[in-house]
Amino acid sequence: MSDSPSLLTASRRFPPSRAFVESASINATRLAEMRVAADDDYVGFWAKLAREQLAWKTEFITALDDSNAPNFRWFADGTLNASFNCLDLHLATRGDKLAIVFESEPGARRTYTYRQLHREVCKLANAIKSLGVGCGDRVVIYLPHTPEAIIAMQACARIGAIHSVVFAGFSATSLKDRIEDAGATLLITADGSVRNGSSIELKRAADDALQAGSGSIKNVIVLRNTERPVDMKAGRDLWWHELLEGQPEHCEPEWVSAEHPLFLLYTSGSTGKPKGIQHSTGGYLLNATVTCQWVFDLRDDDVFWCTADVGWITGHTYVCYGPLANGATVMIYEGAPMVPDAGRFWKICQDYGVTIFYTAPTAIRALMRAGDAFPKSYDLSKLRLLGSVGEPINPEAWMWYHEVIGKGRLPIVDTWWQTETGAIMMSPIPGAIDTKPGSCTHPLPGIFVEIVDEAGTPVTENSTGGYLVIRKPWPSMARTIWGDNPRYIKTYWEQFGPDRYVVGDSVHRDEDGYYWILGRVDDVLNVSGHRLGTMEVESALGSHAAVAESAVVGRPHEIKGEAIVAFVVLRGDRPTGEQATALSKQLRDHVGMQIGAIAKPDEIRFTDSLPKTRSGKIMRRLLRSIAKGETVTQDVSTLENPNIVEQLAYPA
Ligand code: 7RM
């Protein structure tokens, strides 16, 4: 590996190359002007962009309505359609340009021009309408990472239906919970998907989910993706290809208020129940659109590849909406990074001439570990910008990305944001900002952040860190939690007062004003860039008949970022030896069934009891250091049961 630890100091800076700066759409001067404009009048700054960057059916008059703060509304009296902005707008100028270039894991290839994509979206939109789905109805999309997932999202947007994409790695139970919470009437799924050489049976999971309830679903549209046999329920289930036959190729967009919900996306928080984060049409699309230009310097000749699955917010904003609103060519790969070997991503970059590559630190670390020979045997000369998202990137991985993939020449944008923020909030502007390995640098223009201490008092420059908050509303902010506005207000707007959005991350700002995200401060885990609640895993464990109680914590993991460790108290005696091994497997599988494979604990430790304070609170800090294998130095005298520490730390 090409990095040496001596280089990895936080003070090392990487200015963009002269060549990049010269062709970049935003240089340091331009960025300074943007900051002045945004600092001077942030509402006016966003309003001007909204007028320039989006196509409106009727122009808005009021940019920001804060009369119901913190339920802010942006551009609410304007009307538009997201799918019109992503597709129709480009037909005259880019109708024959490739919108989507697709490859599956077994190697099938497919492309869509903007005109073809528009046609497929219109046909599906008409088909969905013919099933009785209308504006404001919820459609759950449970599809693999394929062009059809984008088509389905865009078709919903076209008719004003609210989509809720459920990641194909989630289990039947998770799917059922999300369908029920959203009250969805239509489910769009596929026969299956091939990943790591084996087939994921999506339709089977969908059937299980519907069997167990979800009475609101009237129809299921099934995409033929793997040719695996599936059961089709007469009167309910319809094949995608049959349904689309003969559908008109035009579908008038539904012109909706900018505040009309574009989608829900369920994400984990600090309780067992995922939250349906609700995003708007106009504000969301605005930040999605402009961040592609600012952060990725997106141009007409780019081939943009964000490797995130469409089931996560990154896939929504940087596969579906942002790049298409900009008329870009989007790469989509349905498969695992290591198939057939660790060269797959680099081969795709070579074969399709990818120019912008955006992935997660967990993938970078895994690819780094596989060795330099893989990237070195492919032509990566078309790449001009690299990005990272999902968790803090460690300087070693950053340096490898920079040197081996970027040949020391490409800018790296480390982009910090969340499901709730809708789009990138902090990131280098690649032609304007020197980067530092591991820092997301600064907030984007129009985004105002602050670091506060426990009491909510702002901490000053050069601080040792604190809680990250966002001070002013921004267009793509989450509007509410579907069906639970009190929870929205409580989760995001109470801890530090009604004018500080609570991010849930801790952060440090260095002497140069660079921000370094340190990680979550709540009970949220980040496993391979996937967001999971400790309580969610605990409630899955708790639903197993043998489990009395459990506590789940994260432990640092070299590749995944965090690994899941579960401390479990059984209803019966504490198992040991083979019995413990067998039960561990059972519980891991059970969690896999309840949530999905990504949530399976890496380690399960059985114990007679959990370490609790006299007021009954589980001492998570203690469990975290035990899980790491640290010697316990914490004061355990406040524990109800101090003797348990020995058993937890040195399991039989
Ligand atoms: C986009 C996404 C959000 C959480 C967030 C952070 C962590 C994301 C970075 C990061 C450090 C980054 N949405 N996070 N990006 N931490 N540097 N560049 O991941 O809702 O799934 O997760 O992810 O903790 O709060 S998410």
* Lowest mean pLDDT, pick from 289-298, 330-339, 403-412, 534-543: 534-543
DSSP 293: H
Average pLDDT over residues 221-243: 96
pLDDT tens for each residue of 489-513 = 999 999 998 999 999 999 999 989 9
User: For residue 6, is pLDDT > 50?
Assistant: no
| pLDDT > 70 fraction of the chain, expressed in percent and rounded | 97
| Probe residue for ligand 1, chosen from 165, 295, 389, 391 as the CB with the greatest number of ligand atoms within 8 Å | 391
User: For residue 8, is pLDDT > 70?
Assistant: no
Number of residues that this document lists for the chain: 652
Which pLDDT band, with edges at 50, 70 and 90, does 418 fall under?
very high
Query: 308: CA distance to ligand 1 center in Å?
Result: 13
**Any idea of the CA torsion for 219, 222, 228, 229, to the nearest 10 degrees?**
30
pLDDT for the residue 214 = 62
Sequence-distant (6+) residues with CB within 8 A of 240 are 124, 148, 188, 221, 222, 223, 224
pLDDT tens for each residue of 566-581 = 999 998 899 999 999 9
DSSP 227: -
Query: 277: CA distance to ligand 1 center in Å?
Result: 15
pLDDT tens for each residue of 422-431 = 999 999 999 9
Task: Give the pairing of strands 162-165 and 261-267.
Answer: parallel
140-to-174, 219, 432 alpha-carbon distances in Å: 12, 11, 40
User: For residue 3, is pLDDT > 60?
Assistant: no
Average pLDDT over residues 1-12: 47
Domains of the chain: 13-81+273-522 (3.40.50.12780), 118-253 (3.40.50.980), 528-649 (3.30.300.30)
pLDDT for the residue 212 = 73
Average pLDDT over residues 345-367: 96
Nearest CA to ligand 1 atom 7: 391
Residues with CB under 6 A from ligand 1: 267, 312-314, 389-392, 414-419, 440, 504-505, 517, 520, 526, 531
pLDDT tens for each residue of 603-627 = 999 999 888 877 777 888 889 999 9
C-beta of residue 246 within 8 angstroms of C-beta of residue 270: no
Taking residue 91's Cβ as centre, other Cβ atoms within 10 Å add up to 13
Q: What are phi and psi of 113, to 5 degrees?
A: -80, 170
And the tokens for 252?
């008038």
DSSP 6: G
Query: 417: CA distance to ligand 1 center in Å?
Result: 5
Which pLDDT band, with edges at 50, 70 and 90, does 307 fall under?
very high
pLDDT tens for each residue of 369-393 = 999 999 999 999 999 999 999 998 9
Q: Which amino acid is at 425?
A: M
| Distance from the Cα of residue 87 to its chain's centroid | 23
| Distance from the Cα of residue 205 to its chain's centroid | 22
Nearest CA to ligand 1 atom 8: 390
| Probe residue for ligand 1, chosen from 307, 362, 364, 417 as the CB with the greatest number of ligand atoms within 8 Å | 417
pLDDT for the residue 7 = 41
pLDDT for the residue 10 = 59
C-beta of residue 379 within 8 angstroms of C-beta of residue 350: yes
User: For residue 170, is pLDDT > 60?
Assistant: yes
User: For residue 588, is pLDDT > 70?
Assistant: yes
User: For residue 94, is pLDDT > 90?
Assistant: yes
Query: 3-class SS at 307?
Result: coil
Query: 488: CA distance to ligand 1 center in Å?
Result: 19
349-to-149, 150, 265 alpha-carbon distances in Å: 22, 21, 29
Query: 3-class SS at 534?
Result: helix
**Mean pLDDT score of the chain:** 94
Query: 147: CA distance to ligand 1 center in Å?
Result: 25
pLDDT for the residue 571 = 87
330-to-58, 166, 298, 366, 612 alpha-carbon distances in Å: 29, 21, 11, 24, 51
C-beta of residue 318 within 8 angstroms of C-beta of residue 332: no
Average pLDDT over residues 277-283: 98
Q: Which of 261-275, 291-305, 620-634 has the highest mean pLDDT?
A: 291-305
pLDDT for the residue 152 = 99
238-to-122, 493, 651 alpha-carbon distances in Å: 18, 43, 53
DSSP letter for each residue of 93-104: HHTTSEEEEEEE
C-beta of residue 287 within 8 angstroms of C-beta of residue 422: yes
What is the C-alpha to C-alpha distance for residues 412 and 356, in angstroms, rounded to an integer?
10
Which pLDDT band, with edges at 50, 70 and 90, does 5 fall under?
very low
pLDDT tens for each residue of 17-50 = 999 999 999 999 999 999 999 999 999 999 999 9
Which H helix or E strand runs over 166?
none
Sequence-distant (6+) residues with CB within 8 A of 382 are 303, 349, 350, 353, 354, 355
HSE, side-chain direction, 13 A CA sphere, residue 506: 13
User: For residue 584, is pLDDT > 70?
Assistant: yes
pLDDT for the residue 4 = 37
Closest by CA to 266, choosing from 477, 160, 420, 72, is 420
What is the C-alpha to C-alpha distance for residues 416 and 486, in angstroms, rounded to an integer?
26
pLDDT for the residue 563 = 96
DSSP letter for each residue of 550-610: EEEEEEEETTTEEEEEEEEEESSPPP-HHHHHHHHHHHHHHHHHHTBGGG--SEEEE-SS-
C-beta of residue 511 within 8 angstroms of C-beta of residue 519: no
Sequence-distant (6+) residues with CB within 8 A of 233 are 207, 220
What is the C-alpha to C-alpha distance for residues 220 and 190, in angstroms, rounded to an integer?
10
* Lowest mean pLDDT, pick from 18-32, 112-126, 258-272, 621-635: 621-635
Nearest CA to ligand 1 atom 5: 418
User: For residue 9, is pLDDT > 70?
Assistant: no
Which pLDDT band, with edges at 50, 70 and 90, does 68 fall under?
very high
Contacts 24+ apart (CB under 8 A), 91-98: 91/115, 91/118, 93/327, 94/300, 94/327, 97/327, 97/329, 98/329
**Atom from ligand 1 closest to the CA of residue 414:** 18
Taking residue 208's Cβ as centre, other Cβ atoms within 10 Å add up to 16
Terminal C-alpha separation, the chain: 38
What is the C-alpha to C-alpha distance for residues 360 and 374, in angstroms, rounded to an integer?
18
Query: 203: CA distance to ligand 1 center in Å?
Result: 30
* Locus of tokens 């300087």: 395
Closest by CA to 296, choosing from 322, 331, 327, 333, is 322
pLDDT for the residue 445 = 98
Average pLDDT over residues 275-296: 98
Closest by CA to 357, choosing from 312, 310, 415, is 415
